[in-house]
């Protein structure tokens, strides 16, 4: 079992920055990848960024150049540094962890970007 708790969401003006955090606990040894999804009202959940245990990160086209995913294994925490935020980045952001054959989810943290 893996438990995930996100934090760091909030309201920001366009062009601003936020850093999301996802604190993980439980069977950390079983995790092989982590990442962030987001879901805007009326839209499907979409993958924003992911990072493997070897540090290889992938990004959605919408996030490339603006968002950076990182992981602090000593703190069992996943981060998403977001800059140059746009109103279309407004969504509920969820972190996830893939452990063996199970994907675990956090409860989500809201990001609202105003123009």
For 57-108, the pLDDT digits (tens) are 999 999 999 999 999 999 999 999 999 999 999 999 999 999 988 999 999 9
Rounded to whole angstroms, how far apart are CA atoms 24 and 15? 29
CA 71 to chain CA centroid, nearest Å? 11
How many residues does this entry show for the chain? Answer: 115
Question: Which tokens sit at 11?
Answer: 């309201």
Give the per-residue pLDDT at 57. Answer: 98
Pull the structure tokens for residue 111.
């990001």
């Amino acid at each position: 079992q893996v438990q995930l708790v996100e934090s760091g969401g909030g309201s920001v003006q366009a062009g601003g920055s936020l850093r999301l955090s996802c604190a993980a606990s439980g069977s950390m040894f079983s995790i092989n990848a982590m990442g962030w999804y987001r879901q805007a009202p009326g839209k499907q959940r979409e993958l924003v960024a992911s990072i493997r245990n070897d540090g290889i990160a992938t990004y959605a086209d919408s996030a490339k150049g603006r968002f950076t995913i990182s992981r602090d294994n000593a703190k069992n925490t996943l981060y998403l540094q977001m800059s140059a935020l746009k109103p279309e980045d407004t969504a509920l952001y969820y972190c996830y962890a893939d452990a063996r054959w199970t994907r675990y989810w956090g409860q989500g943290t809201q990001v609202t970007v105003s123009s």
